[in-house]
Amino acid sequence: MSTPNPSPLGTDISKLAIPTLPGNFPPETQKSGFWSSNPIFYYLNNVYSSVSEHRQSLNLVNPGVFENLTKEVSRDVFLNQYFFTGLRADLNKAFIMNPVFQISHALSIGSEQIPPYAFSALYANDNLFLQGNLDNNFSLSGRLHYGWDKHNITKATLQIVKDQPTMAQLEQDYQGNDFSFNFKALNPSILDGRFTGVAVGSLLQALTPKLAVGLESVYSVQHPSYPAEAAVSYVARYNNTNWIATAQLQAQGSLSTSFWRKVTENVEAGIETNLQATMKPLTDPIMGAPVGFQPVIEGTTTLGAKYEFRQSVFRGQIDSQGKVACFLEKRILPTVSILFSGELNHFDNTSKLGLGLQLESAGSEELMKMQQGLIDQNGNPIPGAPQTL
């Protein structure tokens, strides 16, 4: 389709990326003259369209969201998310699978992190995600995600803990074709006459189909009478489908690199090195008075692997601080799994141990049959399964 009166400079006005211009019918003469023949706008439009054409010709893909930069290593392979101590039992109950609605009761003893009892409820459909967790101290953590379209997600997080300040966080995610942008504000307020709280903006941009670079800037005002603080971090991620390397340089003076590889279909391995520079106060050896600062660098390297078997998942890791840890999750019945986590610190001669039980139960008969492997997700009987139930 072409416009009846092409602009004097030979550009097809319908191809210009001006959202306000309707493409199908002739634009008003005055408007077209202003938008296309004005040298500044003509130049800007030209630059914009050539940049966006060039971007499309690069075949870039979305590099993933900024906070998932090291997801493969730190969340999939390493134990960070899974490790626990003491005894625990999780009773999960799923009512329906689409949309997802499930509740769980979590009981625990002998742990410093996990509360003795917590109840949580989760609801999720295609664009809405609701989650709430309430423990025996009436501490609440609530989460709401809403996807407006395939690019925009708004997230709200609220955390109310007894005797601690309430944390509220608002977040907006924009995922473009070749970049991801995220903006979040933690406890934002302008009641004290100026902005207080923390504002974080991050951008991850793909440069080639494999390489993405990004930066994150944090602006925080903890108290209206304190000066504001700002910090910028730089990251890079190289994704070669079967292996991923990342690097992060943080403004607080830390550098971390990670490497991940999918060894086979069910084995993954990862390594992460973190170097942190801190200023240690130097004291006079006799008087004990501070005389200055000395830069100290602390470093940790962690190597880990994850094995997925048919009925179990095993994760193990070893780090340069002398810690060896493992986490095992084994399904012993279709609805019962046991969890084991252990850690040995060879330098300190200490150890940690955790044992857990996970019970899945169904809120409906179809789901119960599905959990026991008798029918598939569409309610059709699975061949070979005993049809007695």
Among the residues of 154-274, which ranges form H helices?
none
Closer Cβ to another protein, 105 or 210, answer by number:
105
Alpha-helical segments (H) within the chain: 29-32, 39-57, 71, 365-371
> Which residue lies nearer to another protein by CB, 187 or 351?
187
In sequence order, what are the beta bridge partners of 312?
330
Strands, E, within 309-345: which ranges? 312-319, 323-333, 336-345
Closest to another protein by CB, 4 or 295: 295
Compute the least distance from the CB of residue 349 to another protein, in Å: 22
If one counts every other C-beta atom within 10 angstroms of the C-beta of residue 315, the result is 23
Closest contact distance (angstroms) between CB of 361 and another protein is 5
Contact 206, 60 (CB under 8 A): yes
If the CB atoms of residues 105 and 151 are measured against another protein, the closer one turns out to be 105
CA distance 371 to 245: 37
Query: Which CB atom, from 321 or from 351, has the smaller least distance to another protein?
Result: 321
Residues forming contacts to another protein in the complex (CB under 8 A) are 91, 93, 95-96, 99, 101, 103, 105, 119, 121-123, 125, 130-132, 134, 138, 140, 142, 158, 160, 166, 190-191, 193-195, 243, 257, 259, 261, 263-264, 266-267, 269-271, 273-275, 277, 284-287, 295-301, 303, 305, 307, 309-310, 320, 335-336, 359, 361, 363-364
User: Any idea how long the chain is?
Assistant: 389
Cβ atoms of 171 and 183 closer than 8 Å: yes
Please say whether the beta carbons of 141 and 133 come within 8 A: yes
* Residue 140 main-chain phi, psi, to 5 deg: -115, 135
Nearer to another protein by Cβ, of 184 and 306: the residue is 306
**Least distance to another protein, CB of residue 191, Å:** 6
Q: Which is nearer to another protein, 87 or 303 (CB)?
A: 303
Beta-bridged to residue 214, according to DSSP, are: 204, 235
Which is nearer to another protein, 20 or 264 (by Cβ)? 264
Q: What whole-number distance in Å separates Cα of residue 279 and Cα of residue 295?
A: 5
Phi, psi of 342 (to 5 degrees): -145, 150
Provide the minimum distance between the beta carbon of 307 and another protein in the complex, in angstroms, as a whole number.
Answer: 7
In the complex, least distance from residue 145 CB atom to another protein, rounded to whole angstroms: 13
CB of 133 to another protein, least distance (A): 8
What does the block give as tokens for 62?
């979305």
Angstrom distances, CA of residue 47 to CA of 34, 57, 59, 60, 308: 17, 15, 19, 19, 50
Residue that is written with structure tokens 């101590």 in the block: 85
Shortest CB 301 distance to another protein, Å: 4
